[in-house]
A and B are shown apart, each in its own frame.
Chain A
Amino acid sequence: MEAIILQILNGLDKGSAYALIALGLTLIFGTLGVVNFAHGALFMIGAFCAVTLSRILTLSHTVIDETKVDFLGNPLKVDVPYVYDWFGQATGDAIIDWAVPLAILFSIPVMLFVGYAMERGLIKHFYKRPHADQILVTFGLAIVLQEVIKYFYGANPIPTPAPQAFAGSFDFGAMLGFDPNTIIYPYWRLVYFAFAAIIIGGVFAFLQFTTFGMVVRAGMADRETVGLLGINIDKRFTIMFGIAAAVAGLAGVMYAPINSPNYHMGMDFLVLSFVVVVVGGMGSLPGAVAAGFLLGILESFASMGAVLEVLPGLNQIIIYLVAIIILLTRPRGLMGRKGVMED
């Protein structure tokens, strides 16, 4: 029982990342009809926003410590962050410690700009081209973006820890009456899950309860008619691209403490996220979210030692197996609509 609870928690956590990326992918596909293979790169750029802010906050000047020596035997050069000078060491440490949550604020304008620039600068030229062309150009863009990140940040993972307040793990076992230490879960992953729920809820509320969202939904259903009513739907869709980029970026920012950011982390998630979108149903936002959590949980169960003993490697294929089964039984995915990608 403990193992099952633990893997459900794990699945929710993984599913959160899948769902957030798939949500952005679906937003772009549903509005602009573009298959955006650079979406994983947006997730990666979000994570590197956290890295960048962390580096900005730790910008330092050098002080020579004559009492110690460096690796060459010279007096040790000690880097003192400017925030120490401005706020004192204790406050400075606290600011640096909270770099990842602070990066949320930092990343929103960055990601909106990246999304806007990407859409206006490249993707708009491919709206009327076949999906294969869109995939090629966005995949190429993803490679360019990850090489740019590698050039500036190197190939090694960069540790970007969560604030100390969220270090350690929560003992669900003790809380639920099981033995202590049997169901433990890191605080930050719980934060990630809660954050994902807020973002997903926020996007749905935005689309459901605002005039802007209503117009966008109308445009998703019938772009031409909305355009005939004198509404500049293209502009709204461009803004939606920026919002989708921001969602992917925020998912990346908050993911940074879970796995140290590296330049190919976007590619690691991209294929799985597309499978999530297809399983959920192309163009369906609730489908993308539901499929994200479903596949995350299934993948976690397939990674259990007891399962792997019987079916080694199941965890690597489970998502694709489920995708095959669902597409055979429901060709439009779990919540897919008729007509999407069927022309």
Chain B
Amino acid sequence: MTKSNFTRRGLLKTSAVAGAGVALPTIFTGSSAHAFTNEPTGSTVTLGFNVPQTGPYADEGADELRAYELAVEHLNGGGDGGMMNTFSSKALQGNGILGKKVEYVTGDTQTKSDAARASAKSMIEKDGAVMITGGSSSGVAVAVQALCQEAGIIFMAGLTHSNDTTGKDRKANGFRHFFNSYMSGAALAPVLANAYGTDRKAYHLTADYNWGYTTEEAVRASTEAMGWETVAAVKTPLTQTDFSSYIAPVLQSGADTLVLNHYGGNMVNSLTNAVQFGLRDKQVNGKDFQIVVPLYSRLMAKGAGANVKGIFGSTNWHWSLQDEGSKAFVKSFGTKYGFPPSQAAHTCYVQAMLYADAVERAGSFAPCAVAEALEGFEFDGMGNGPTLYRAEDHQCFKDVLVVKGKENPTSEFDLLEIVEVTPVDQVTYAPDHPQMGGPEATLGSCNNGA
């Protein structure tokens, strides 16, 4: 015999529990609609392209934007498909991302960290961007990467070469395709030793900010390891336009090699000044004086004109590469715009494609799912040979190009020639390398946001 204690209080309790039970799937479904920041719910998905549209790197930013627009065209099934045809992953179908048509919004970083954060924030909060990419400065990259980490958005870095981006400032939501200062040093040192010998006295002029420091550190470490001596390392203000006061004392220092850890306009001016002072015509310590530019870009080489002839440096990618991916991209970009893409355009195009591909493979736009798809991802056909997105620091590892200013350029684009493709093994380092922040540097946890 069963005794039923059917009271009013019991009924309320039972109803509440049952109601919660019935409601649970609804709550879960409702929650999953906003399971992560800016989850796309309609037929489109919005990407945020945050590039320098004003300021000293505006031309570089314009080229980045061209590449992003080309990537969007290819992702949506337009154009000739570019690298989608050569990319080893075949997840992308040319029907958008996960069937959603790709749209984009743009922001202006102004190459200023605060402005870049403000524009990224606006694109995330107002435009609903599900991913932020772009930039042309390590300061901007580190700042925007931190913002994306807080917001629960994936950040696919554009042009950023400082070790810190995937070193001490690495973040779980941030990914970098571009190479870094350590890799430049590791790739350059053997080529420099081969060309100029192992008995050299180097004088460093270094841009007085984060990227300059890590580049100087990396080049010093790699060249000193092969026998070079560093006689001086002088910091120069970012705002400096005339470097004559810094160049003039170089010959009196006993140095026979000048390393210009400068980028953009700084490099254009310092190299021009160094050539004006006749450094390249001099002999010191019985050797021809030499100049080295650790990080080259074609746009910088154009600015420096004939002064770059014969000067060694490194670059992430160059349009003269003859692999199928590079040829496809150069053809696609060149046909659309009438000139070859810069390395900034290349890395930004690849980053957009890699993000889209990761979403397809993950089957979700959720940042943590995308991050998981990118971590440890090995791919090819994107212009740099076989490449690994290392899980521990979200840095891409691939061959590094050592280039030299071309002696007899045939056009305004034909300024650099590739002298060596340094194998990836030679530029790979441990994730806890001291130059990368040591053992303390961690990615933290992935953030899906709201």
Q: Does A6 contact B (CB under 8 A)?
A: yes
A262 touches B245 (CB 8 A): no
Query: Which of B152-160, B330-338, B350-358, B435-443 lies on the face that meets chain A?
Result: B330-338
Q: Does B88 contact A (CB under 8 A)?
A: no
The CA-CA distance from A70 to B276 in the complex, in Å, is: 32
A260 touches B268 (CB 8 A): yes
A155 touches B57 (CB 8 A): yes
Q: For B273, what are the chain A residues with a Cβ–Cβ distance below 8 Å?
A: 258-259
| Min CB gap B251→A, angstroms | 5
Query: Which of A106-114, A181-189, A320-328 lies on the face that meets chain B?
Result: A181-189
Known contacts A71-B413, A72-B334; is-contact A186 B268 (Cβ 8 Å): no
Taken residue by residue from 38 to 79, chain B's Cβ proximity to chain A (1 for < 8 Å, 0 otherwise) reads as 000000000000000011111100000000000000000000
Query: Which of A97-105, A220-228, A299-307, A332-340 lies on the face that meets chain B?
Result: A299-307
Q: Does A158 contact B (CB under 8 A)?
A: yes
**In-complex Cβ contact of B245 among A7, A68, A181, A258 (8 A):** A7
Q: For B234, what are the chain A residues with a Cβ–Cβ distance below 8 Å?
A: 305, 308
**In-complex Cβ contact of A259 among B269, B278, B281, B282 (8 A):** B269
Known contacts A168-B281, A169-B276; is-contact A259 B241 (Cβ 8 Å): yes
B277 touches A185 (CB 8 A): yes
Query: Which of B167-175, B189-197, B304-312, B395-403 lies on the face that meets chain A?
Result: B304-312
Q: A71-B330, A186-B276, A304-B249 are in contact. List 16 more A-B contacts (CB 8 A).
A: A71-B334, A72-B330, A72-B335, A155-B58, A155-B59, A156-B302, A157-B269, A158-B303, A159-B302, A159-B306, A159-B307, A188-B276, A260-B272, A268-B239, A300-B244, A305-B253
10 A-B pairs whose Cβ atoms sit less than 8 Å apart in the complex = A3-B249, A7-B248, A71-B414, A158-B303, A159-B305, A161-B306, A168-B278, A181-B282, A188-B276, A305-B234
Q: For A303, what are the chain B residues with a Cβ–Cβ distance below 8 Å?
A: 245-246
Q: Which residues of B contact A (CB under 8 A)?
A: 54-59, 232, 234-235, 237, 239, 241-242, 244-246, 248-249, 251-253, 265, 268-269, 272-273, 276-278, 281-284, 299, 302-307, 319-320, 330-331, 334-335, 339-340, 410-411, 413-414
Q: Does A330 contact B (CB under 8 A)?
A: no
Q: For A264, what are the chain B residues with a Cβ–Cβ distance below 8 Å?
A: 56
Q: For A257, what are the chain B residues with a Cβ–Cβ distance below 8 Å?
A: 276
Known contacts A156-B59, A268-B241; is-contact A262 B277 (Cβ 8 Å): no
Q: Which residues 1-45 of A have a CB within 8 angstroms of B?
A: 2-3, 6-7, 9-10, 13-14
Q: For A186, what are the chain B residues with a Cβ–Cβ distance below 8 Å?
A: 276-278
Q: For A14, what are the chain B residues with a Cβ–Cβ distance below 8 Å?
A: 242, 244-245
Q: For B57, what are the chain A residues with a Cβ–Cβ distance below 8 Å?
A: 155
B252 touches A3 (CB 8 A): yes
Q: Does A312 contact B (CB under 8 A)?
A: yes
Chain A interface residue number, banded: 35 or more
Q: Which residue of A lies closest to B300 (CB)?
A: A156
B245 touches A184 (CB 8 A): no
Q: Does A76 contact B (CB under 8 A)?
A: yes
Known contacts A72-B330, A260-B272, A299-B245; is-contact A150 B413 (Cβ 8 Å): no
The CA-CA distance from A264 to B59 in the complex, in Å, is: 14
| Min CB gap A166→B, angstroms | 10
Q: For A189, what are the chain B residues with a Cβ–Cβ distance below 8 Å?
A: 244, 276
The CA-CA distance from A78 to B13 in the complex, in Å, is: 87
Q: Does A142 contact B (CB under 8 A)?
A: no
The CA-CA distance from A71 to B57 in the complex, in Å, is: 24
Q: For A331, what are the chain B residues with a Cβ–Cβ distance below 8 Å?
A: none
| Min CB gap A197→B, angstroms | 18
Q: For A154, what are the chain B residues with a Cβ–Cβ distance below 8 Å?
A: 58-59
Q: Which residue of B lies closest to A255 (CB)?
A: B242
A155 touches B251 (CB 8 A): no
Taken residue by residue from 75 to 110, chain A's Cβ proximity to chain B (1 for < 8 Å, 0 otherwise) reads as 010000000000000000000000000000000000
Of B305, B330, B414, most buried by chain A (CB within 10 Å of CB) is B305
Q: For B58, what are the chain A residues with a Cβ–Cβ distance below 8 Å?
A: 150, 154-155
A184 touches B251 (CB 8 A): yes
Q: Which residue of B lies closest to A5 (CB)?
A: B248
Taken residue by residue from 216 to 255, chain A's Cβ proximity to chain B (1 for < 8 Å, 0 otherwise) reads as 0000000000000000000000000000000000000000
| Min CB gap B334→A, angstroms | 5
Q: For A159, what are the chain B residues with a Cβ–Cβ distance below 8 Å?
A: 268, 272, 302-307
| Min CB gap B207→A, angstroms | 14
Taken residue by residue from 147 to 175, chain A's Cβ proximity to chain B (1 for < 8 Å, 0 otherwise) reads as 00010001111110100000011000000
The CA-CA distance from A312 to B335 in the complex, in Å, is: 50
Q: For B320, what are the chain A residues with a Cβ–Cβ distance below 8 Å?
A: 71
Q: For B330, what are the chain A residues with a Cβ–Cβ distance below 8 Å?
A: 71-72
Of A155, A169, A300, A303, most buried by chain B (CB within 10 Å of CB) is A155
| Min CB gap B280→A, angstroms | 10
Known contacts A181-B282, A305-B232; is-contact A157 B265 (Cβ 8 Å): yes
The CA-CA distance from A156 to B244 in the complex, in Å, is: 20
The CA-CA distance from A72 to B307 in the complex, in Å, is: 26
Q: Does A316 contact B (CB under 8 A)?
A: yes
Q: Which residue of B lies closest to A186 (CB)?
A: B276
| Min CB gap B174→A, angstroms | 27
B252 touches A2 (CB 8 A): yes
A157 touches B303 (CB 8 A): yes
The CA-CA distance from A312 to B234 in the complex, in Å, is: 10
The CA-CA distance from A260 to B56 in the complex, in Å, is: 13
**In-complex Cβ contact of B244 among A13, A161, A181, A265 (8 A):** A13
Q: For B339, what are the chain A residues with a Cβ–Cβ distance below 8 Å?
A: 71
Q: For A2, what are the chain B residues with a Cβ–Cβ distance below 8 Å?
A: 252
Q: Which residues 136-150 of A have a CB within 8 angstroms of B?
A: 150
| Min CB gap B262→A, angstroms | 12
The CA-CA distance from A10 to B252 in the complex, in Å, is: 15
Known contacts A72-B331, A155-B59; is-contact A169 B278 (Cβ 8 Å): yes
A155 touches B249 (CB 8 A): no
The CA-CA distance from A13 to B282 in the complex, in Å, is: 22
| Min CB gap B276→A, angstroms | 4
B277 touches A169 (CB 8 A): yes
The CA-CA distance from A139 to B15 in the complex, in Å, is: 72
**In-complex Cβ contact of A181 among B55, B251, B276, B302 (8 A):** B251
Known contacts A71-B330, A262-B265; is-contact A181 B303 (Cβ 8 Å): no
Known contacts A150-B58, A305-B253; is-contact A259 B410 (Cβ 8 Å): no
| Min CB gap A225→B, angstroms | 44
Q: For B54, what are the chain A residues with a Cβ–Cβ distance below 8 Å?
A: 155
Taken residue by residue from 187 to 218, chain A's Cβ proximity to chain B (1 for < 8 Å, 0 otherwise) reads as 01100000000000000000000000000000
Kindly list the 7 A-B residue pairs having the minimum CB-CB distance in the complex, ordered from nearest: A159-B305, A303-B245, A169-B278, A155-B58, A186-B276, A157-B303, A71-B340
